[in-house]
Amino acid sequence: MIDLDYLNFLENILTENRKSKFLKVLENRTKHFTIVVEDVFQMHNSSAVMRSCEVFGIQELNVIEERYGKSIDKEIAMGAQKWVDINKFDNVTHCVDALKNQGYQIIATTPHENDCLLEDFDISKPSALFFGTERDGLSNEVLQKADGFLKIPMAGFTESLNVSVSAAIIIQNLTNRLRQSEIDWHLSQEEILEKRLAWAKSSIKDIKRIESRYFSEL
């Protein structure tokens, strides 16, 4: 449970414009879809996917780092790392199991399966959308564990897109359709409170000193 007194204390430090912006953004945040990148070895690509998540309202990005370690390219992410939740996994099995336990179906994005075109994808089910590299695609393990496949329709000779471009196209399409639907895709009230607290803390300079003062006065 969120300590509402503490939340109010921190938010009173923020400007009214900042608090209003938080609420407006949170109204458009969703966990109905979550994004997974598997071993995207080029740091700028995973950072660009994170930025697309933030821009289009996806709250969580899952990163599988089985073969390559990576860190955030802050110039590409443009601050998105402050507003998107990053879940890291050391292998596919742990990631898939965790997401299925949360009620997500596993959807592999790949140009090599003709299961479902983007415009025909059923948005009603909570879905975890997996993206691999342009060079290698998704691993066989992801493809075997997938509940379905999704592809972007293409009209040219090229068979694949850069992962960050593919993610941006799919995320924009699905979130736009989601907001025009009657599906209950919003964050819960508890999740909104959690984000308000986390974002307030990330926005306040010298938060450790302020926290210490607050709790010492209780």
Residues annotated within a binding site for S-adenosyl-L-methionine: 109, 152, 161
Backbone angles phi, psi at 76, to 5 degrees: -80, -40
Determine how many CB atoms are found less than 10 A away from the CB of residue 1.
Answer: 6
Residue 118 host element (H or E): none
Which residues fall within 8 angstroms of residue 50, CB to CB, at 6 or more apart?
61, 72, 77, 80, 81, 84, 86
202, two tokens:
């990330």
CA 199 to chain centroid, in Å, comes to 16
Closest CA to 30 of 150, 208, 186: 186
Q: What residues are designated binding site?
A: 109, 152, 161
Per-residue buried b or exposed e for 122-138, using 16+ beta carbons within 10 Å of the residue's own CB = ebeebbbbbbbbbeebb
Which residues fall within 8 angstroms of residue 164, CB to CB, at 6 or more apart?
44, 45, 48, 49, 52
| Residue type at 14 in one-letter notation | L
